[in-house]
Amino acid sequence: MVTLLDLLSENDQIKKWHQNLTDKKRQLILGLSTSTKALAIASSLEKEDRIVLLTSTYGEAEGLVSDLISILGEELVYPFLVDDAPMVEFLMSSQEKIISRVEALRFLTDSSKKGILVCNIAASRLILPSPNAFKDSIVKISVGEEYDQHAFIHQLKENGYRKVTQVQTQGEFSLRGDILDIFEISQLEPCRIEFFGDEIDGIRSFEVETQLSKENKTELTIFPASDMLLREKDYQRGQSALEKQISKTLSPILKSYLEEILSSFHQKQSHADSRKFLSLCYDKTWTIFDYIEKDTPIFFDDYQKLMNQYEVFERELAQYFTEELQNSKAFSDMQYFSDIEQIYKKQSPVTFFSNLQKGLGNLKFDKIYQFNQYPMQEFFNQFSFLKEEIERYKKMDYTIILQSSNSMGSKTLEDMLEEYQIKLDSRDKTSICKESVNLIEGNLRHGFHFVDEKILLITEHEIFQKKLKRRFRRQHVSNAERLKDYNELEKGDYVVHHIHGIGQYLGIETIEIKGIHRDYVSVQYQNGDQISIPVEQIHLLSKYISSDGKVPKLNKLNDGHFKKAKQKVKNQVEDIADDLIKLYSERSQLKGFAFSADDDDQDAFDDAFPYVETDDQLRSIEEIKRDMQASQPMDRLLVGDVGFGKTEVAMRAAFKAVNDHKQVVILVPTTVLAQQHYTNFKERFQNFAVNVDVLSRFRSKKEQTATLEKLKNGQVDILIGTHRVLSKDVVFADLGLMIIDEEQRFGVKHKETLKELKKQVDVLTLTATPIPRTLHMSMLGIRDLSVIETPPTNRYPVQTYVLEKNDSVIRDAVLREMERGGQVYYLYNKVDTIVQKVSELQELIPEASIGYVHGRMSEVQLENTLLDFIEGQYDILVTTTIIETGVDIPNANTLFIENADHMGLSTLYQLRGRVGRSNRIAYAYLMYRPEKSISEVSEKRLEAIKGFTELGSGFKIAMRDLSIRGAGNLLGKSQSGFIDSVGFELYSQLLEEAIAKRNGNANANTRTKGNAELILQIDAYLPDTYISDQRHKIEIYKKIRQIDNRVNYEELQEELIDRFGEYPDVVAYLLEIGLVKSYLDKVFVQRVERKDNKRKDNKITIQFEKVTQRLFLAQDYFKALSVTNLKAGIAENKGLMELVFDVQNKKDYEILEGLLIFGESLLEIKESKEKNSI
């Protein structure tokens, strides 16, 4: 048994090529393409430890990286890539790309590492720090050794690490006292370094989500987080070059810009444009070639393409530099990229790969190897044809290899082969029997016919036209955490206090009264009135969120308005709760059709999906199928960000219904969407005997009549349409499932019709409106919910650039998109001047065909234009925010947003979701007017969206912007006013309570604990010297409030020591008070007070709630008191039990210990009684 790589390596010509690799020879390999080329390159690692492969474009490089990872595994493949457009690297480069490039430089500077570096033309010209500077910047630290803390932090900043308050992603560090957290770029998890003075006391990894330590380490190597390193001498070199230039610069604009850069360099700080000035800072323009050791074999992939791309890049660079000169952003001595054409020509040992010898100019070669290899033909699901070909080649003693991408695919393929009586000789993940028919698992993108070695590789792509998921080195950059808690309070946020109403949060302040410190939350109300709320009552505050992100009016303190508003909302939500419960109980009593469990046909349909499902998709599919198999009608809401695979989930549900001889109707809000769904469903169901039809105004009267007739006779299985399908003349033979896309976009009349239909059939509703988690709770019982939060694996993050509006950037990006056969959205949100904007763009890019749409057009006009765009009749669509939802055009992969600084964060995010819908890299340019200085809020907003280059931030980003659109929609527009008057959080809480109460939920009436107020005159707070960040303080106060027993308490103690270091006594007391309160709450203590009076200061009074009259007898209190270290007396006050402790000469810790033991003891008595009463 051998592997595919072994088979290729046995070829005599490959062996000869390997032997000559290290000689200073120029070799040419002709005839190998895609997968065979990748196999040949991979095979060279048997002879050499490191190889450098140079490709023409970013796309070519990505394809080869994907194939090489499939053959060798990701630990041996190092992509070093830069966008093909010169300007991109200066506008903004994604963090993932930088980390990937640094990993590649690490590989080149570490002689013990083996692997292949893949680099495109643009990347080979990138100006880098010298190899020595890169090596010198690597820091190795060990426990027990001493390091100057200040110098260490300075070096981290120099090495490209960003200082933050809490570490979340690679390339960040944070400092809290003697604790330094760092997410080193090569690590899967961040590390916590604990200093004792300048000595490293400990190193341990920690979890990003919980921020808690995991395991100890003895050492840590910290590699730079950037491929742009500037040291003191580099800054000095840059300064003198800039000073010289400034002295002879006449242009005031250029002078001002250079002075800005100079000022950053004086402060030894990197500027956003530093990369443009590297040629002035470094002693020479170093490139990747300076990192490659002498005699390392270099492979040139398709030399003619390389040289063409070099010229294209050179031309674009010259054009960009000219514009920079014209815009006073550069001067002639600057060099943006290195010129290395001569290096290509002089390099040796070199192997050139080419399909033909033509186009190699006057290059001389020492050895030429010609191979006979052809791309594999495609079979288009024709298994009888596949069988003929396999049998024909088997007679010629070929080794035939069928490749599937995973075990599920192998199973499907095996079943199909068996059905067509195609005999398999071997079935193994990687091993192959020669001269036999083999089935293996792998991810090579294309099959081939290798005549020389008699090998046939046939992949799923050739058999089923199945697109393969591209494989990349994994990245560990994640934004999930950054947005985890949208309730994080920032100074200036609007908040709702459950008693005082809507105010503005001013932060936490420590107030000292008579020597006792306490932390308070400051909130400002109307007329500048302020209140300070003790942090123990932080649960009464929530972030204010309106139905559409409106700025609220602040309440006036104590004027009764908020109380009235809250009561109104309470009455209103009780009515809603009644309606919802009624609807729910009606539904639960209905009997629907119970669909049968999955069979082979369903499995075959599911397996024919050409991509890898995400976990969320699989979970949602499972939940929907389970609902369909139950006898009660399904009413499930499927929530998922734009393009996250909701349609595939719906298709599987539709197939399940059709498979049980039921009809399916799919209701969509627009004709364009109906047409798109029709095309997608038709394509997905083409190999299964399912009839898909559409009803829309694009169909003639005659066609519509024919469709309706077929529907009535049961000849249409799946009908797609707008509200037209709700008309009376639409009669189904046997409807079993209704799928509704974006229900909130239908009118009231249609919703009533839907309500009636829902009682009879299974219903699946799809929406991309981000639904806040708080609403999940109140909706749970009423409607089942599935959520898809993770993006499909084969989708790239959208490359997002924030920049001044620049005509040449627009022209370049549009032409590049057109060159790759794509289309462009140009977002311009002013209807009055949109026609003028179209003329401007037409003048700028005469080659492009431009269409436009806006909300004032008639529906017919709008839909016709969109359809023309979908069909490729326009290259650019100028549009208002009307494209924000519901249009899926995978071919549009470049988006411009003019005046992006005027838009809300969630709007920007939804708009950006219009591109990047396929497996191509997409670009979004967020532009603002050049002469305009954008406001701080807008800048933060643009920076935030630029930061969220990853997919999957949709739900969370909507929260971040507080514009929960659709919060009103989901509960009906009439609710918006109510939501706005008390804020979304409180509204949801009130609705939840009302539903629980109506449901007869025992917990709604039976309280399990009270809420004791503790006034102990003990110094207990979080001092700034221990935790300085306000958000961290709020987080810890919330955790103290959640202490429920000794286990939680000890865990929180450990967490504080772990994250912030040893804590002072005032924090120890704060934690213990939290624990005491948790026990006293459970025994319904109302108030614990130490009198603030010198003579009475030696007494602590405990008052109990009324409920304790039936819970405890007098002897229970005596029993609990008997185990404490405090003397106490028992009295009665207004019929309620009252205890008075004598705490004269007692230390604070003794008082807390006494109260704790008393609380624990009384709780044991209560629990024992409850147990015995069962």
pLDDT band at 362, cuts 50/70/90?
Answer: confident
pLDDT in tens, 866-879: 889 988 999 999 99
pTM here? 0.70
pLDDT band at 472, cuts 50/70/90?
Answer: very low
Instruction: Please report, rounded to a whole number, the percentage of residues in the chain having pLDDT higher than 90.
Output: 52
What does DSSP say about strands 1136-1142 and 1099-1104: parallel, antiparallel, or unpaired?
antiparallel
Where does CATH 3.40.50.300 sit in the chain?
A: 4-126+287-370, 582-788, 799-950
Q: The tokens of 243 are what?
A: 């000073």
Amino acid at 740: I
Does the pLDDT value for residue 956 go beyond 80?
Answer: no
As a 3-state breakdown, the chain gives helix, strand, coil percent values, each rounded to 5, of 45, 20, 35
Does the pLDDT value for residue 367 go beyond 60?
Answer: yes
Separation of alpha carbons 1072 and 368, rounded Å: 80
> Could you tell me where the DSSP H helices lie in 904-964?
905-912, 936-947, 954-960
SS (H, E, C) 171-226: CEEEEECCEEEECCCCCCCCEEEEEECCEEEEEEEECCCCCCEEEEECEEEECCCC
Does the pLDDT value for residue 751 go beyond 60?
Answer: yes
Topology of the domain covering 376-464 = Rossmann fold (3.40.50)
pLDDT band at 962, cuts 50/70/90?
Answer: very low
CATH no. of 1013-1173: 3.90.1150.50
Residue count of the chain: 1174
Over residues 906-933, the mean pLDDT reads 73
Q: Would you say domain 139-222 falls under CATH 3.30.2060.10?
A: yes
Topology of the domain covering 4-126+287-370 = Rossmann fold (3.40.50)
pLDDT for position 327:
81
pLDDT for position 905:
61
1000 phi/psi in degrees, rounded to 5: 70, 25
What are the residues whose beta carbons fall under 8 Å from the beta carbon of 652, sequence distance 6 or more? 602, 605, 606, 621, 624, 625
Over residues 367-381, the mean pLDDT reads 90
Does the pLDDT value for residue 970 go beyond 50?
Answer: no
Q: How far is CA 555 from CA 521, 545, 567, in A?
A: 17, 15, 15
Q: Which of 288-302, 398-412, 899-913 holds the top average pLDDT? A: 288-302
Separation of alpha carbons 1080 and 1070, rounded Å: 15
What does DSSP say about strands 784-788 and 635-640: parallel, antiparallel, or unpaired?
parallel
DSSP per residue over 835-855, as a string?
Answer: HHHHHHHHHH-TTS-EEEE-T
Over residues 1062-1066, the mean pLDDT reads 95
Does the pLDDT value for residue 967 go beyond 50?
Answer: no
pLDDT for position 941:
57
pLDDT in tens, 25-44: 889 999 998 899 999 999 99
pLDDT band at 14, cuts 50/70/90?
Answer: very high
Over residues 706-714, the mean pLDDT reads 96
Where does CATH 3.30.2060.10 sit in the chain?
A: 139-222
Where does CATH 3.40.50.11140 sit in the chain?
A: 376-464
Looking up tokens 């050499």 gives: 48
Looking up tokens 């604070």 gives: 1148
Residue predicted with more confidence, 853 or 884 = 853
Residue predicted with more confidence, 784 or 1098 = 1098
Does the pLDDT value for residue 777 go beyond 60?
Answer: no
pLDDT for position 160:
92
Over residues 256-285, the mean pLDDT reads 93
pLDDT for position 841:
97
pLDDT band at 774, cuts 50/70/90?
Answer: very low
Over residues 122-127, the mean pLDDT reads 96
DSSP 733: S
Looking up tokens 């809507």 gives: 502
Separation of alpha carbons 352 and 369, rounded Å: 10
CA 983 to centroid of chain Cα atoms? 27
Instruction: Please report, rounded to a whole number, the percentage of residues in the chain having pLDDT higher than 70.
Output: 87
Q: Which of 391-400, 466-475, 968-977, 1105-1114 holds the top average pLDDT? A: 391-400
Q: The tokens of 719 are what?
A: 């009908």
Over residues 504-527, the mean pLDDT reads 90
Over residues 539-546, the mean pLDDT reads 80
Cis omega (within 30 of 0) on the bond before 252? no
Separation of alpha carbons 999 and 574, rounded Å: 12
Separation of alpha carbons 459 and 462, rounded Å: 6
pLDDT for position 468:
53
pLDDT in tens, 576-609: 777 767 766 776 777 889 999 999 899 889 988 8
pLDDT in tens, 394-436: 999 999 999 998 877 788 788 888 888 989 999 998 899 999 9
pLDDT band at 1094, cuts 50/70/90?
Answer: low
What are the residues whose beta carbons fall under 8 Å from the beta carbon of 683, sequence distance 6 or more? none
Least confident of 5-19, 597-611, 616-630: 597-611
pLDDT for position 959:
40
pLDDT for position 745:
65
Does the pLDDT value for residue 370 go beyond 90?
Answer: yes
Does the pLDDT value for residue 1144 go beyond 90?
Answer: no
DSSP 499: T
Over residues 622-629, the mean pLDDT reads 95
Looking up tokens 């949109």 gives: 834
Architecture of the domain delimited by 799-950: 3-Layer(aba) Sandwich (3.40)
The closest of 440, 438, 448 to 399, measured between CA atoms, is: 438
Q: How many CB atoms lie within 10 A of CB 237?
A: 17
Q: Does the CA dihedral 973-979-985-990 come out positive or negative? A: negative
pLDDT for position 476:
40
Least confident of 506-510, 626-630, 959-963: 959-963
Contact 134, 118 (CB under 8 A): no
pLDDT for position 1141:
92
Looking up tokens 């109104």 gives: 568
Residue predicted with more confidence, 493 or 649 = 649
Topology of the domain covering 582-788 = Rossmann fold (3.40.50)
Average pLDDT of the chain, as a whole number = 85
pLDDT band at 963, cuts 50/70/90?
Answer: very low
Q: How far is CA 869 from CA 206, 370, 822, 851, in A?
A: 50, 46, 11, 8
458 phi/psi in degrees, rounded to 5: -120, 115
Q: The tokens of 689 are what?
A: 């005997």
Amino acid at 1164: E
Q: How many CB atoms lie within 10 A of CB 445?
A: 18
pLDDT for position 291:
96
